[in-house]
Chain A
Amino acid sequence: DTGVSQNPRHKITKRGQNVTFRCDPISEHNRLYWYRQTLGQGPEFLTYFQNEAQLEKSRLLSDRFSAERPKGSFSTLEIQRTEQGDSAMYLCASSFPELGVYEQYFGPGTRLTVT
């Protein structure tokens, strides 16, 4: 069990560019969550997958955001036409509530800076 990994750790991009982040969850976990954390705030839920199915999206996830989890393994989060307001830490977490693992294990995050 190597934990949750995220790549890249840091991303600087210019406004209007597209960016993609990757998350590799704990291999036995069937659920994968994406959160966004801005400076001085707690993380906020964006979306989650159960296996390969994206089952819920929050209102924070605008049309410029898309997430996938092909084959129920790793997941990608893409932001199109980035805006300065997208600057944040993007966190990925995994769990397996159906087996009683309700706690979520977090990756180190990807810090996005939009200039």
Chain B
Amino acid sequence: AQSVTQLDSQVPVFEEAPVELRCNYSSSVSVYLFWYVQYPNQGLQLLLKYLSGSTLVKGINGFEAEFNKSQTSFHLRKPSVHISDTAEYFCAVIFVSGSARQLTFGSGTQLTVLP
């Protein structure tokens, strides 16, 4: 079965500390991988994507993620967080079978940056 799992529902971290948000998926087909951020009462904004090529991808706002095919993971990292990074983060996957190319989302991780 195809699924996306975000292991941590809430991650509190102090300002300027590093953070890692974890994402694992289960799939028997190729995947495209994404991280989105959602601020309260807003839509989703794309942080970064992996389609092919280098497994380390860099995104906006200093975030980066690494695709690990053997671990079926796509963890999001930032070396030093700011208060403004407080938001909900969603890992999303396109399972490349059929033509729909719809996103399957994890349940989200609420990142709270503490002063």
Binding site for B on A (CB under 8 A): 4, 6, 31, 33, 35, 40-45, 48, 50, 55-56, 91, 93, 95, 97, 102-109, 111
Interface string of B17-53 (1 = CB under 8 A from A): 0000000000000001010100001111110010100
Query: Would you call A103 and B42 a contact (CB within 8 A)?
Result: no
Q: Which residue of chain A is the closest to B49 with respect to CB atoms?
A: A103
Known contacts A91-B44, A108-B43, A109-B42; is A103 also within 8 Å of B106 by CB?
Answer: no
- Asked if B63 lies at the interface with its beta carbon under 8 angstroms from chain A, I say no
Residues of B within 8 A of A102 (CB): 32, 49, 51, 94, 101
Our pick among A6, A48, A111 for the contact of B100 (Cβ within 8 Å) is: A48
Query: Would you call A111 and B102 a contact (CB within 8 A)?
Result: no
Pairs A–B under 8 Å by Cβ, sample size 12: A4-B43, A35-B103, A41-B107, A42-B92, A45-B103, A55-B99, A95-B101, A97-B101, A102-B94, A104-B103, A106-B44, A109-B43
A43–B42 Cα gap in the complex (Å)?
A: 13
Residues of A within 8 A of B94 (CB): 102
Binding site for A on B (CB under 8 A): 4, 32, 34, 36, 41-46, 49, 51, 90, 92, 94, 98-108
Query: Would you call B43 and A55 a contact (CB within 8 A)?
Result: no
